[in-house]
Amino acid sequence: MAQKTEITPLGLLEVDEKVSADMVKAMQYINQRYVPYTSDLDNGNYISKPVVHVILAGDHLTKQNADAAIRAKANEDTSFERLEGLVPVIVDFHCSTNFNDVIFKRFYNSCSQCDSGSLFHLRNVVHRTNVTKSALGDKYRPCNTFIQDVLDASIIAVGLHHFSLHTEEDMPASIPTSFLSNEEKQDWFDEQLLNIVDTYILNESPEFHNMLQGNLQNPPQSPVVPQPIVCQMPRCNHPPFKRQHDLTEHFKKYHGISVCDHREKSGVNAVEQHQEDYVFNYHSAFLKMGLLEHDFQDSVREGDGKRTCHLGKFKMLHFKEAQRYKYSLEALKLQFDLQALQSPRVGHRMMWNRTVNVTGGAGKNVALDLNCEHYVRYAISIWVQM
C-alpha cells in the first residue's frame, strides 16, 4: 500500500448519471469495453459468463444509479446483457463526509455558545469562522480539521486529568520510579491505557444502566408523555412554556428571582439537581464518535481495507441512529457482500481495492471517490478556461 499506484485515466463519457437511459448507456459501454466474458457450452447452448468482475467504486448516488441500471437489465437473456460482470461499490470519502455531518448535527449547536466546552463555544474561542453547522460539500475540510483539533485537545485533557497534572512542571505520581524489564513497562502502559478507555470513553451514565436493566426485567411499556413546563409559583396562571429557557426568563421578569433562588425557596438543593457532570458526558460521547472517525480515516490513509470495513459496522449503527438510512443500509449490504453474497475472490477485491496512492509512501493513500473528485475538479477547471 505504500507503493505508488499506476493510474490510467479512461476518459469521459458525455452522459448524465441522473438520467436512467444515460446511466444504462454508460454501464453498457464499460461492460463491453473492460469486462472479459467467456462462453461455455451447456446443453447445446453457449452461455456467456464474466471471467473477471470489474468493481465500480463511487459515492452513494453513483452506486444507487448503477444498481438501478443493472436491475433495469435483469430480464435480459445472457449474463453479458444483464451486466453481471459489473459490481458497484460505495467507498469511503463520502462516508466520512456524512459521518462528520452526523457528529456536527449531534454536538454542534449555535444555542450553546455560552456552554463552556461545547463545539460551538470552542469554535468561537479559536475563531474558526469557516466552521458551519453542516460538514457536507465544500465545508468538509474546515469542519473535519476542527473535529480533529478538538479531539486532540480532548485526548490531552483526558491524559492530564488521569495523571493529575495541573501545571507544566507536574509529573505523574502513578508512574513507578523504575521498571524491572520492558515487559513490566509495557504491562503498566497497557493498564493505564485500559483505565483511561474505561473511565473516559467506554462509560455510560447511571440512567443508561437503569434503563437497560428495566428493559431486560420488565416488558416494553408505552412511551412516557413529557410533562408540560409550567411555573410553580403560587397564583401564577401563565400558560405552559415550550423551553426551559423561557421558564427561566419568566422567573426573572415576572417574579424577580433566579432559578437558584427559586430552588432554595422551594427547599430543593441546587447541588443535588446537578450531580451528573454533563460536560464530562458531552465530551465522553464526542470521544466515542471522534475516535471512530479518526481510526476510520487512518485506515484509509494506510490502505487497510480490512480495518475500514470492520469500522463500517460501527458507523452503520450511528447512521441508523441519525436517520441516515441510505448509508446505514449500504454499510449493511457491504457486510453481506463480503461475507455471503459475493465470491471470496470478489469479496477480497472489494475489501482491499478501496484506496489509491498517488504520490507513493506510507500513509499517503486516499479513497477512490476522493481521487475521482480531484479529477472532476481538474476537468472542470480546464473547461472553464476553454
Task: Transcribe 70-112 into DSSP letters.
Answer: HHHTTTSSSTTTTTTTEEEEE-SHHHHHHHHHHHHHHH--GGG
Give the model's pLDDT for residue 9.
83
* Cell output for 77: 437473456
Whose cell is 410553580? That residue is 232
Domain identity same for 124 and 86: no
Q: Kindly state whether residue 314 falls inside one of the protein's structural domains.
A: no
Residue 162 belongs to domain spanning: 96-172+180-205
**Rounded-to-integer distance, Cα 222 and Cα 92, Å:** 40
| pLDDT at residue 212 is higher than 60 | no
Q: What angle do CA 268, 269, 273 make, to 5 degrees?
A: 95
Q: Kindly state whether residue 101 falls inside one of the protein's structural domains.
A: yes
Domain identity same for 59 and 111: no
Report yes or no: 170 and 160 within 8 Å, Cβ to Cβ.
Answer: no
Domain identity same for 136 and 195: yes
- Greater confidence (208 vs 238) lies with 238
Report yes or no: 84 and 37 within 8 Å, Cβ to Cβ.
Answer: no
**Rounded-to-integer distance, Cα 326 and Cα 137, Å:** 18
Q: Taking the mean position of all CA atoms in its chain, how far away is CA 277?
A: 26
Domain identity same for 62 and 127: no
Burial of 105 (0-12, 13-18, 19+ CB in 10 A): middle
Domain identity same for 54 and 139: no
Most confident of 40-54, 159-173, 250-264, 282-296: 282-296
Q: What angle do CA 318, 322, 327 make, to 5 degrees?
A: 70
Mean pLDDT check: name the lowest of 44-48, 206-210, 252-256, 295-299.
206-210
Q: Kindly state whether residue 39 falls inside one of the protein's structural domains.
A: yes
Domain identity same for 77 and 148: no
- Greater confidence (153 vs 178) lies with 153
| pLDDT at residue 322 is higher than 70 | yes
Give the model's pLDDT for residue 176.
76
Distance spanning both ends of the chain, measured CA to CA: 37
Q: Which of 190, 205, 220 delimits the end of a domain?
A: 205
| pLDDT at residue 93 is higher than 50 | yes
Q: Kindly state whether residue 162 falls inside one of the protein's structural domains.
A: yes
Does this model's pTM top 0.85?
no
Domain identity same for 67 and 119: no
Residues 6+ apart with CB under 8 A from 321: none
Beta strands in the chain, from DSSP E residues, in sequence order? 37-42, 45-50, 54-58, 86-90, 355-357, 365-367
Q: Kindly state whether residue 237 falls inside one of the protein's structural domains.
A: no
Mean pLDDT check: name the lowest of 82-86, 168-172, 345-349.
168-172
Give the model's pLDDT for residue 258.
61
CA dihedral for 186, 192, 196, 198, sign (positive or negative) = positive
| pLDDT at residue 298 is higher than 50 | yes
Domain identity same for 161 and 145: yes
CA dihedral for 137, 141, 143, 147, sign (positive or negative) = positive
Max Cα-Cα span within the chain = 95
Mean pLDDT check: name the lowest of 132-141, 154-163, 240-249, 346-355.
240-249
| pLDDT at residue 375 is higher than 50 | yes
CA-to-CA separations, 66 to 20, 61, 62, 95, 301, in angstroms, rounded = 9, 9, 6, 18, 27
Domain identity same for 159 and 100: yes
Q: Give the model's confidence band at 385: pLDDT under 50 very low, under 70 low, under 90 confident, else very high.
A: confident
Report yes or no: 86 and 27 within 8 Å, Cβ to Cβ.
Answer: yes
- Tally the domains of the chain: 2
Mean pLDDT check: name the lowest of 16-20, 47-51, 95-99, 284-288.
47-51
Domain identity same for 51 and 85: yes
**Rounded-to-integer distance, Cα 303 and Cα 364, Å:** 8
Report percent pLDDT > 90 for the chain.
31
**Rounded-to-integer distance, Cα 124 and Cα 115, Å:** 11
> For all residues of the chain together, what is the average pLDDT?
82
Q: Give the orientation angle of helix 93-107 with respect to helix 140-162, to 10 degrees.
A: 60
Q: Kindly state whether residue 290 falls inside one of the protein's structural domains.
A: no
CA-to-CA separations, 376 to 11, 60, 379, in angstroms, rounded = 11, 17, 5
Domain identity same for 114 and 187: yes
| pLDDT at residue 218 is higher than 50 | no
Domain identity same for 65 and 118: no
Give the model's pLDDT for residue 263.
42
Q: Kindly state whether residue 155 falls inside one of the protein's structural domains.
A: yes
Q: Kindly state whether residue 307 falls inside one of the protein's structural domains.
A: no
Half-sphere exposure of 195 (CA within 13 A, CB side): 11
Half-sphere exposure of 20 (CA within 13 A, CB side): 7
